[in-house]
Amino acid sequence: MKLLFIADIVGQPGRRAVKELVPRLRRLHGLDLVVANGENAAGGSGITPKTAEEIFSSGVDIMTSGDHLWDQKEVLELLRNEARFVRPANYPPDTPGKGSTLFETPGGPCAAVLNLQGRTFMPPLDDPFRCALANVKTLRQRTKIILLDFHAEATSEKVALARMLDGQVSVVIGTHTHVQTADEQIFPGGTAFLCDAGFTGPHESVIGREIQPIVQRFLTGQPQKFEVAQGRILLQGAIVDIDELTGAARRIERVSESLVSA
């Protein structure tokens, strides 16, 4: 089984990259499942039903989220009605939406997608480590193929959680920092890992935003309006090849695909 994870989609440039590149990547790599983090898809902050549908119609099967989940009030409609959209599972139990979902690949095995959010330098949520153990135990009753999007700031938290789950999930990919790391690897138990997948959107920027207002904020400490940038659009993430019988990863490869027409 081959899956593509698409790093945080930022605004209209990120959605454009998904629309133009995902169909070709699906054909080129024979992808069975495409998962994307969409928490920054609407104007660079949050997500709406309209932007979600645009992304799904571009070839994405499942979308995850993170700490910008609540930035658009329309997200409640997604959480209540869209089975393909998941939020971090370590929100309190009565929070709308769900933290994981199952995907039936056409003619192939069932795969699970789990979303968690870190606590180090992040808004406080329930313990992602204990939440991971409980959720993975339940999901493994249905499938051995499990992808975890861990939306977290600290590299140590991401590595520690992935090491804890080695052999229990197929892949752990970190999101949130918007800077792609070069530490892709497969742990001894068969879990593929990448500390941060980067972001999908304009890279002539400061992590997706126009450069000058952010520089000005650092220089003066004064509030600025951070518009989504436009130049040098990349689709970033990772492709993982997974053994369908064991759920163990065979290969992980970083993706940083340029939108040439940008």
> What's the rounded Cα separation, in Å, for the pair 122 and 158?
13
SS3 state at 63: strand
Task: Report which DSSP code applies to 118.
Answer: -
Question: Which residues are the active-site residues?
Answer: 68
> By CB neighbour count within 10 A (0-12 exposed, 13-18 middle, 19+ buried), where does 47 fall?
buried
Residue matched to tokens 């509030």: 223
Three-state SS at 33: strand
Where do we find the tokens 């998941």? 86
- Rounded distance between C-alpha atoms, residue 241 and residue 92, angstroms: 33
Distance CA 231, CA 18 (A): 15
| φ/ψ of residue 151, rounded to 5 | -90, 100
Q: How far apart are CA 180 and CA 69, in angstroms?
A: 21
